[in-house]
Structure 1
Amino acid sequence: MGPGAGEVSWRHWICDARDGRLICPIDIPSFSWDMGIGDFGFSTTDKGAGKIDESGLTLPWAAIPASTPDERSAMLDSQRRAIVTTWAASDDPEDKGTPLFWGKITGRDDTWLDTSFGLESPMAILSSRYAVRDGAFKDGHSSDSIAFTGMSYRGICSELGRIATDGKQGGELPFDWTYTGERGSHDRTDYQAWNVQNLAVDQLLTNIANCQGGPDIAFRPYWADEQHIRVRFLAGSDADVYLDMDHSPVCLSSFPDGGSLEDIHVSYQDGYHRWYATGAGTDQGTLTCYVESMAPITQSMDPPVLREAVYGDTDTDNLDLLRRHVGGVAQNNSGKLMQITGSIDFGDTDQFGVPLHPLGSMWPGESVTLSIAGFPTLPDGDYGLRLMEMSGDQGSKADLKFDVLEAPFQ
């Protein structure tokens, strides 16, 4: 049963972008959303054609709880305001619901009839924050260096986030850097102030997540109290890089004319066998690295066609680190891969009316056991997957995309 039936509903609030304080509710009747590991997108939909408005949210002035020019400007101030969206499993007005999205208002464009603006996700905000300590960048020359030794990957990510937010004057955001100071076996010594153009924190976090053994990362909003929303930085550990491994996998099923995961599609991609990687440097001084996985070709009676690929990471000037980066990519793309997608209705209930898989009960990064029977090109059985992306609109149905995995028939 979807939100239109009165059992469940979406809810939205305008809040202070710096401390997460709720200001007032706001009605957004038509919208689309997508959520992936580490980031999200949120936009209004065109009711007539059903298209996504790529510029962001478009709301009539009547939907804004303000009556004067200064009140409207303050309510939607792109320098100070954010929006949080939740999913409530009841129509009780006291139920604020489970927070799903938090984003800072950005890029507002006003007309006589309405206003349009985008929402910056936490990662988008961090694209304009740099891993440079306050006071360390000076006129003339800046030689300050930030280094981390003997830390976990997520500990390094948290320290970078803290430097870029709480560590800067005016840098406050309602973010919890969960793993600051966490010890581990990893070092990072290459954050030089003079290299500031390559120190955007979103890219540094992405580089760590994408290297071999790098953790999944995510930003998830939560209620700090009745009047404040905060955003928690989450990441897999060095021992287990995946998120949400502290509970059993979500169980879904798909079979002809039934199952909780509907309309599944299986797409395929051929593997790559050689990787040519480049790192920092220019011309003949560019750092290079070569990784190959030729066993499918050299050890098969019916070998596949050779495929080669390139990888670039201009921020890396260490050969071992570059090798780890490209090695992780090569390891995950050496054989034929497949990816499963499907759709789910978060409003589906059991015989007692209890939602089976409400929004907020599963997140990108979580493990999923998908039981498949009767699909034309897959053997019957349980498939261990990870949920990578979710997308939907103001209704209760959403599309799910799972991580790639090795195809059963190579």
Structure 2
Amino acid sequence: MKRVVVTGMGVVSATGTDVKSFWNNIAEGKSSARPITRFNPEKFKTHFAAELSGFDMSQYLDRNEIKRSDLYTQYALVAAGQAIKDSGFELEKMSPFDIGVIFGSAQGGMETFEQQYREFAASGFEPHFNPFFIPKTLVNMASGVISIKYGFMGVNFSTASACASANTAIMDALNYIRFGKAKIILTGGSDAPISEASIGGYNSLKALSTRNHEPGKASRPFDVERDGFMMGEGAGVLVFEEYEHAKQRGAHIYAEVAGAAMTSDAYHITATHPEGTGAIQGMKMALQDAELNASDISYINAHATSTPVGDISEAKAIKAVFNGNNDLHISSTKSVTGHLLGAAGAAEAIVSIKAITEGVIPATINTSVIDPQIPDGLNIIIKESVNHNVNAALSNTFGFGGHNGIVIFKKI
């Protein structure tokens, strides 16, 4: 099989609107929490989120692109533009059929759907829908619009596996290039879930933190006082490239995409398996796919969202797979970024790669007292980032429906 490397990255989020600012804020442990301004949140139990406010989309996209696309697609387009520029590949020197897009989203155009139905109801249910209503809401539209904008004519589709969507896309992109079906694939994920329907819905599930009196400390994975996650939004994009192709054109290579795997908990529509059974098998399969041992992993970017049940089951799974690995460091950067849903895996892939290239393991901020139900012996990095050589990093994502997506990157 062909080797696959990362030659470009782009990100748009409340934590940073480019890779440099995003990484710096994560490494420095600066919370992205802020009051919700997109709508009046007072009627809801949660009044804050990692909202990307004050971002002038017209600086990056033209009027028609903005008019014809949902916010989640706009985030994807901006991050894709960054990643393409960072990679420096030249389309005119390649066949367009050798470049593809595989992209994930959990919710697609939720904001558009909510807005259009509100207008429909306000009109007395007169059917005057916007002609862009359907294409703006489709979960595949981010991948389609990226392809259309840049003329990429290779493989093009979207993955939808809730909060594992980006890692699902990453795994598919890895395998398409491995098997010679493409030379370059843009992959990642995007979501724009800071809307009344999303916040209200997740409040009803009791999934969101309601720590309104101190939102900057709300996301606290593994902490004994955690009460739910902080919603985030944005997009992360990575340029995956066949190694020999990247080397031949003199591309800057960040890391190698070593392996990936997916499993299903087959347990519950929203809860992870309490013993982490699916996650255990997924991590083992990803290690096997990467031809690595558990002892080779220096860093795990945990899915840990700051929910009472999920953090414990993931910790149990990590303990089961990596027990005895004394070099292993664990953290959840959702404590900084919030939970970007279908974009989470892409953002955290970038964090994992930066941990490798910078030799820095970011901290789980806000966490001060580890829940006693978390297994002993896990080196969870809290409060401050640490300097440490990282040869290989594993990133977990788990989604409603029982989806477990695991990816591994390694130094090249």
TM-score, structure 1 normalization: 0.26
Give the number of the structure whose residues are more often helix, by fraction: 2
TM-score, structure 2 normalization: 0.25
**Pair member with larger Rg:** 1
